[in-house]
């Protein structure tokens, strides 16, 4: 069991609108300010979805915005910068394959298609495979997003077909409680962890909505790492909205410290995940 805890913050996501939730960080300045404060509070990695303030703060995969965001986060923090290749359910696969051109440290790589509420989040095997090889070639460390148990089997297939990712480490993240994916229960998480390929070197978990805290507690107890943030959970407690991502990171850090597995630094997160140092400082 790792002696410390990687806390990932997913500050924005692609689903919540700025109109519905004005405190959601969507501008470059807001995302950088959130990342900086979350790093101070114990986060080691930031999982980024970019929005377009000139288009109602909707999700965008615009290459210039992606690159500017990576650079700004790299200048302002030491966090591992992970770009989402999942984007929004409306993003075409071809656009999602251009995300790595922005040269992030890490990228998400979802290991299968699933129903996503009333939508479908498309991740056919050929797409996953292309993304996996692209990440190897561009020396970007993938984080495998597992929304369902079948996704664990698909990860096995990717490793068998293409070998280990760049850096030699295999980090996965269980995203539980999406309507259409695995439930946010301890039983489902245990089943997923038991199925992990032996090549997996670390895993984290998040629970969408009200499963946020139970999944965090279970992950800590099982030796896993944590992902928190407004992408996954907008409520701090019953009737109390999250006002800033730092609240969720602070609570995760407290929980992890109480469990004798305090938050790891961004530097240690880089080592854990085997990312290439692109900071050039
Ligand atoms: N927005 C979801 C459809 C990822 O970032 O790779 C996909 C998602 C996963 O958030
Ligand atoms: Zn995401």
Average pLDDT, the chain: 98
Which segments of the chain are extended strands (E)?
A: 7-9, 45-48, 51-52, 58-59, 80-83, 106-110, 114-116, 119-121, 141-146, 171-176, 202-207, 225-228, 235-237, 240-241
For ligand 1, atom 4, which residue shows the shortest CA distance? 86
Asked if residue 223 is part of any domain, the answer here is yes
Measure the CA–CA gap between 98 and 135, rounded to whole angstroms. Answer: 11
- For ligand 1, pick from 145, 146, 181, 231 the residue to mutate: most ligand atoms within 8 Å of CB: 145
On whether residue 162 sits in a domain, the answer given is yes
Q: 89 CA distance to ligand 1 centroid (A)?
A: 8
Kindly give the distance from the C-alpha atom of residue 117 to the centroid of ligand 1, in angstroms, as a whole number.
Answer: 13
How many domains does the chain contain in total?
1
Would the pTM count as exceeding 0.95? yes
Percentage of residues of the chain with pLDDT beyond 90: 99
Mean pLDDT along residues 68-77: 98
Pairing relationship of beta strands 58-59 and 51-52 according to DSSP bridges: antiparallel
Nearest-angstrom CA–CA distance, 122 and 91: 9
**Apex 262 CA angle, 258 and 266, nearest 5:** 155
Ligand 1 contact via 245 beta carbon (within 6 Å): no
> Does residue 281 have a pLDDT over 70?
no
Does ligand 1 come within 6 angstroms of the Cβ of 85? Answer: yes
CB 89 less than 6 A from any atom of ligand 1: yes
Summarised one tens digit per residue, pLDDT across range 114-154 is 999 999 999 999 999 999 999 999 999 999 999 999 999 99
Please indicate, yes or no, if residue 2 is contained in any of the structural domains. Answer: no
**Cα(13) to centroid of ligand 1, in Å?**
7
Cβ–ligand 1 contact at 8 (below 6 Å): no
Confidence of residue 280 (pLDDT cuts 50, 70, 90): confident
Query: Which of 92, 96, 87 lies closest to 134, judged by CA?
Result: 96
232 pocket-lining for ligand 1 (C-beta < 6 Å)? no
Distance from residue 145's CA to the centre of ligand 1 (Å): 9
Cβ atoms of 206 and 218 closer than 8 Å: no
pLDDT digits (tens, 9 = 90+) for 171-225: 999 999 999 999 999 999 999 999 999 999 999 999 999 999 999 999 999 999 9
Domain that holds residue 146: 7-273
Query: Average pLDDT of 253-269?
Result: 98
What letter does residue 268 receive in the DSSP assignment? H
116 lines ligand 1 (CB under 6 A): yes
Let me know: does 108 contact 99? Beta carbons within 8 Å. Answer: no
**Residues making up the chain, counted from first to last:** 281
The pLDDT value given to residue 2: 87
Q: Is 206 in the pocket of ligand 1 (CB under 6 A)?
A: no
Mean pLDDT value of segment 34-49: 98
Return the CATH number at 163: 3.20.20.70
110 touches ligand 1 (CB under 6 Å) = yes
Q: What is the pLDDT of residues 88-112, one digit of tens each?
A: 999 999 999 999 999 999 999 999 9
The reply to whether ligand 1 has any atom less than 6 angstroms from the CB of 173 is no
CA distance 201 to 198: 8
Kindly provide the b/e burial profile for residues 7-46, where b requires at least 16 CB atoms within 10 angstroms of the residue's own CB: bbbbbbbbbeebeeeeebbbebebbbbbbbbbbebbbbbb
Residue 260 CA, ligand 1 centroid: distance in Å: 31
Residue 200 covered by a domain: yes
What's the pLDDT at 1? 80
Ligand 1 atom closest to the CA of 121, numbered from 1: 3
Ligand whose nearest atom lies closest to the CA of 178: 1
Question: Does residue 132 lie in a domain region?
Answer: yes
- If pLDDT is split at 50, 70 and 90, which confidence band does 113 have? very high
**Predicted pLDDT at 76:** 98
Say yes or no: CB of residue 144 within 6 Å of ligand 1.
Answer: no
Q: How far is the CA of 114 from the centre of ligand 2 (A)?
A: 14
Q: Does the residue 278 lie in any domain?
A: no
């Amino acid at each position: 069991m790792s002696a410390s805890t990687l806390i990932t913050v997913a500050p924005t996501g692609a689903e919540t609108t700025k109109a519905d939730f004005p405190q959601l960080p969507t501008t470059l300045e807001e995302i950088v300010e959130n990342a900086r404060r979350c790093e101070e509070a114990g986060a080691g990695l930031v999982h980024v979805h970019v929005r377009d303030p000139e288009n109602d703060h909707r999700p965008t995969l615009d290459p210039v915005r992606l690159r500017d965001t990576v650079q700004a986060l790299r200048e302002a923090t030491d966090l591992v910068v992970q770009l989402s290749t999942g984007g929004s359910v409306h993003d075409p696969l071809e656009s999602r394959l251009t995300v790595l051109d922005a040269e992030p440290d890490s990228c998400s790589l979802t290991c299968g298609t699933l129903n996503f509420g009333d939508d479908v989040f498309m991740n056919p095997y050929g797409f996953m495979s292309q993304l996996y090889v692209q990440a190897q070639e561009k020396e970007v460390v993938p984080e495998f997003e597992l929304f369902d148990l079948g996704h664990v089997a698909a990860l096995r297939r990717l490793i068998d077909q293409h070998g280990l990712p760049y850096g030699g480490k295999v980090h996965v993240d269980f995203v539980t409680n999406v309507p259409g994916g695995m439930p946010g229960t301890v039983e489902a998480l245990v089943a997923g962890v038991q199925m992990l390929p032996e090549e997996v070197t670390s895993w984290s978990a998040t629970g969408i909505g009200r499963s946020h805290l139970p999944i965090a507690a279970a992950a800590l107890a099982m030796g896993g790492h944590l992902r928190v943030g407004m992408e996954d959970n907008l409520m701090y407690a019953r009737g109390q909205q999250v006002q800033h991502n730092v609240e969720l990171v602070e609570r995760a850090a407290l929980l992890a410290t109480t469990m004798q597995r305090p938050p790891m630094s961004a530097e240690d997160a880089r080592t854990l995940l085997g990312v290439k140092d692109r900071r050039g400082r």
